[in-house]
Amino acid sequence: MASYLVRRLGHMVLTLFAMATLMFFLFRLLPGDPTATVISPSLYPKAQEAMRQQFGLDRPLFEQYLLYLRNLCVLDFGFSFQTNRPVFEMIQGRLLNTLLLILPSMLAAYLIGAVIGAMAAWKRGGGAEVSVVLTATALQSAPLFWLSMLAILLFSIKLDLFPIGHIVTPGLFPEQDWRMYLSLDFLHHLALPFLVNTLYQLCFPLLLMRSTMLSTIGEDYIELARMKGLSERRVLFRHAARNALLPLATTLPMILGWAVAGSVVIETVFSWPGLGLLMIEAISRADYPVAQAAFLLIALLTVLGTFVADLLYGLLDPRIVYD
Amino acid sequence: MDASGSHSLLSISGLSASYSTQRGRASALSEIDLDLGKGENLGLIGESGCGKSTLLKTVMGVMPGNARIDAGSIAFQGRDLVSATAEQRRAVRWAGISMVTQSALNALNPVLSVGDQIAEAILAHRDVSRAEAWRRTQALLAMVGVAPERARDFPHQFSGGMRQRAIIAMALALEPPLVLADEPTTALDVVVQDQIFRSLRELQQRLGFSLLLVTHDLALVIENCERVAVMYAGMIVETGPTRDVIRRPAHPYTLGLKNALPRLGSREEPIAIPGGPPDLVDPPAGCRFAARCPFALLRCHAEPPPLTSIDVGRQARCHRAAEIDTLAPLAALPRTWDALRGQSLDAPSA
Ligand SMILES: Nc1ncnc2c1ncn2[C@@H]1O[C@H](COP(=O)(O)OP(=O)(O)OP(=O)(O)O)[C@@H](O)[C@H]1O
Ligand code: SF4
Ligand SMILES: [Mg+2]
């Protein structure tokens, strides 16, 4: 187990290093002069030069790369071209906002999706199953931004049940500190993006759970569990669902990737000040340090998620041995 | 039969069941009559697909979704299971009738420990604490020859023989009066098979359960069962004391089965029964064995034979059961069956 963990951590570091490198060069390949958004061309050439030096934009590419790697190791992401504030500071709060939206909603999506999928399989052939499967398939293939906008149109604009966007009512918490997260206002703002994301993300676990349950139900050990005189509920949850969860755990890393991509969309539509929105904003302003850091953090989230999913799988399946 | 009904443990009568398939309903069980007394062992033999597992699953009440009981009754300890409510049936399962399944290798849930799977059967039927159920589980494992401390192991950590023993321990967990065993040892080698049957017999002497043993293996039936029922295409075609049935079969199909056995110390080649089982979606109008029977008469193709008593405790489903003593010597000749291989012929006159 210990050697497995060490190896697994090594993999993670390598993956992140590769991501960081890729990102560095990708950003340098982007069109446009990054200095243009920060350094007004109307400034004196001397002033422009000074700023270039300040941001290290005048050094050779390779040197910039080494500097970049060294800074990453000490979590120094540099300063935003746009605001001149340290990137790390800007990103902290954004990371928390994203996690608060994505983690609970993924958890809910998995739990609810798995339960509904299991029930659908158990009641197979009925009208309920057919409508659940059709709805999930339709939802899953709908674009997320369209669903989000539809939800805003219906629940925020027409029915006026939820605010249109943002994390709290603007101006209510000028300090933007932790008290904001404990307020009802925050929950009110969280509700709609949470619901939309949960609904969207639960389709995959639901459909997967249903189909694996269907093949599990035909297994001999399910028949034996029935023969033992266990209640249907016990057969369903303890025997069938427990096994059908395995493929769900295997696909978790992939789903996490989708969830992260989805968060960018959700945050943009709902003006949710998370990492995804920050990244979009940073890219549109060619704010390289910020965009890079946001990208890297998103990559880190995905890699960590994969790691957790792996460990989880080992807990679920006794046949897995870590060595 | 009726006179003994009072002490009969399991009494199946007129049981018919079918599967719905794409081509229509397949009559998998047809007019099954079977009696099993307390402490008695009954062997059930017949070729693959004749409905043995279907019969056991019907008795257990775990038929797949496309199966249906069309007629008949299954009386267990005098109470009919077919008309019982789901809750009543659930109570009988395992506590009254337990089953050792055909593929013990897949019958254990891979993600639960073996002990848990035994203990949950106890907990589902008995009002005992988890600790007590676990203690009994360990005692059961010890009883079937598995080290009790292996209870925490998962199925993949068990060998095939151990898994089969675990399933047997599970089947005996509630000391049910009746144990059904569906080819309990087909996946195992002969040595392990012998060991398992030896301990099964010992356990039976101690616990006194009745055993309904399904197998392809006539030798197992001869060793373990005082009575045997022969099934063909969803029907019982012959029943009786094992020794009598094997020595003097009363049905041409049983004669054929006996021929197909490799005979020890004999130079004679085993003779296989030509052809295959009939289509159960559209079964023959007359005797279901007629197409493969070397002794079939015109009447056999038109009229289904009833299951009739031919001796004390012996029944056969054949129009020519009375002439069987003259047919038997012919059935031992490869020529008799060879004639069928080309084309179905009329029976040679007796
Ligand atoms: N779920 C099902 N749906 C449709 N037909 C089925 C189903 N299960 C079994 N059958 C058919 O019913 C007949 C009896 O099958 P069954 O499994 O009872 O045979 P068996 O005697 O146990 O055979 P084996 O010795 O191979 O285990 C076969 O023709 C089989 O194809
Ligand atoms: S009834 Fe006729 S066809 Fe059927 S087994 Fe007897 S002799 Fe053969
Ligand atoms: Mg079978």
Q: What is the pLDDT of residue A289?
A: 78
Q: Model-level pTM?
A: 0.80
- Looking at the predicted structure, is the pLDDT value of residue A211 above 70? yes
Task: Choose the closest CB to B94 out of A227, A231, A234.
Answer: A227
> Mutate which of B255, B257, B298, B300 to test ligand 2's pocket (most atoms within 8 Å of Cβ)?
B300
Q: Which residues pair with B74 in a beta bridge?
A: B12
Q: Rounded to a whole number, what is the distance in Å from the CA of A228 to chain B's nearest CA?
A: 5
The C-alpha angle A308, A310, A314, rounded to 5 degrees, equals 115
B93 and B155 in one domain? yes
- In terms of domains, do B194 and B58 share one? yes
CA-CA distance, A14 to B273, in Å (whole number)? 66
Is there an atom of ligand 2 within 6 Å of B293 CB? yes
**B24 is a domain residue:** yes
Q: CA-CA distances (angstroms) from residue A316 to A50, A116, A236, A248?
A: 58, 20, 16, 11
Lowest mean pLDDT, pick from A88-92, B148-152, B309-313: A88-92
- Alpha carbon of B51 to ligand 1 centroid (Å): 5
Please state which of the ranges A213-222, B43-52, B276-285 shows the lowest mean pLDDT.
A213-222
Q: Which residue of chain A is at minimal alpha-carbon distance from B117?
A: A225
Q: Is B309 in the pocket of ligand 1 (CB under 6 A)?
A: no
B297 and B174 inside one domain = no
Mean pLDDT of B288-316: 93
Q: Is residue B176 pLDDT above 80, yes or no?
A: yes
Residue B187 CA to residue B192 CA, distance in Å, equals: 10
Q: What is the mean pLDDT of chain A?
A: 85
Mean pLDDT for A106-119 is 93
Hey, are the CB atoms on B107 and A221 less than 8 Å from each other? yes
Residues 6+ apart with CB under 8 A from B15: B29, B31, B32, B33, B55, B58, B69, B71, B72, B73, B74, B82
What is the average pLDDT across B306-331?
A: 92
Answer whether residue A92 shows pLDDT above 70: yes
Say what the pLDDT of residue B3 is: 44
What's the complex ipTM? 0.84
pLDDT over 50 (residue B58):
yes
Whether residue B332 is predicted with pLDDT greater than 70 in this model: the reply is yes
Asked if A286 and A34 count as a contact pair (C-beta separation under 8 A), the reply is yes
Sequence-ordered list of residues with C-beta below 8 angstroms from that of A318, at least 6 positions apart, any chain: B110, B111, B113, B154, B156
- Would you call A228 and B60 a contact, using CB atoms and an 8 Å cutoff? no
Q: Same structural domain for residues B216 and B87?
A: yes
Instruction: State whether residue B97 is helix, strand or coil.
Output: strand
B334 falls in which pLDDT band (50, 70, 90)?
confident
pLDDT(A240) > 80: yes
Sequence-ordered alpha helix ranges (H) in chain B: 52-60, 86-92, 104-107, 114-125, 130-143, 160-171, 190-207, 218-224, 242-247, 252-260, 298-302, 324-331, 334-342
Domain range for B52 is 10-225
User: Do residues B36 and B118 both lie within one domain?
Assistant: yes
Choose the weakest-confidence range: A59-63, A153-157, B145-149, B166-170: A59-63
Of B65, B107, B125, the CB nearest to A224: B107
Domain presence at residue B141: yes
Do B258 and B210 belong together in one domain? no
Residues of A in contact with B92 (CB under 8 A): 229
Residues of B in contact with A234 (CB under 8 A): 120, 124
On whether both B291 and B198 belong to a single domain, the answer is no
| Residue of B57, B95, B110 lying closest to A229 (CB–CB) | B95
Task: Tell me what the mean pLDDT of segment B36-53 comes to.
Answer: 93
- Domain match, B197 and B258 both: no
The CB of B286 under 6 Å from ligand 2? The reply is: no
Q: Which of A224, A233, A316, A319 to mutate to test the interface with B (most CBs of B within 10 A)?
A: A224
Domain membership of residue B348 (yes or no) is: no
Q: What are residue A313's phi and psi, to 5 degrees?
A: -60, -40
- Do B221 and B286 lie in one domain? The reply is no
Residues in A closer than 8 angstroms to B186, CB to CB, are none
Q: What is the mean pLDDT of residues A272-280?
A: 90
Q: Phi and psi dihedrals of B237, rounded to 5? A: -105, -20
For atom 26 of ligand 1, the residue with the nearest CA is B48
Q: Which pLDDT value is given to residue B267?
A: 65
DSSP state of B15: E
Q: Is residue B131 part of a domain?
A: yes
* pLDDT of A53 above 80: no
Residue B104 pLDDT: 66
Same domain, B69 and B142: yes
Does residue A179 register a pLDDT over 70?
yes
In this structure, the residue with its CA closest to atom 29 of ligand 1 is B49
Write the single-letter amino acid at A279.
M
Residue B346 has pLDDT above 50, yes or no: no
Q: Please indicate, yes or no, if residue B349 is contained in any of the structural domains.
A: no
Q: In chain B, how many domains are there?
A: 2
Instruction: Give mean pLDDT, residues A115-139.
Output: 89
Q: Is the pLDDT of residue B19 over 50?
A: yes
Residue A259 confidence (pLDDT) above 70: yes
As beta bridge partners, residue B214 has B44, B182
- pLDDT at position A258: 82
Q: Which of A168-182, B118-132, B294-308 has the least mean pLDDT?
A: A168-182
The domain that contains B61 carries what CATH number?
A: 3.40.50.300
Does residue B76 belong to any structural domain of this protein? yes
Integer Cα distance of A121 and B65 in angstroms = 13
Last-in-domain residue among B190, B225, B260: B225
Mean pLDDT over A101-118 rounds to 92
- Residue B119 reports pLDDT greater than 60: yes
Q: Mutate which of B59, B66, B101, B111 to disrupt the A interface (most A C-beta within 10 Å)? A: B111
Instruction: State whether B23 and B57 are in the same domain.
Output: yes
- DSSP letter at B304 equals P
Q: What pLDDT score was predicted for residue A131?
A: 92
The confidence score (pLDDT) of residue B42 equals 96
Of B191, B225, B259, which residue is a domain's last? Answer: B225
> Residue whose CA is closest, atom 1 of ligand 2?
B318
Residue B234 forms part of a structural domain? no
Q: How far is B89 from chain A (nearest CA, A)?
A: 8
Residue B237 lies in a domain: no
What pLDDT, in 10s, does the model give residues B213-270? 999 888 889 999 999 999 999 999 999 999 999 999 999 999 998 887 766 666 677 7
CA–CA distance, B301 with A67 (Å, rounded to integer): 93
Domain shared by B126 and B268, yes or no? no
Interval B186-209: pLDDT, tens = 777 888 888 889 888 988 999 999
Assess whether pLDDT exceeds 60 at residue B343.
Answer: no
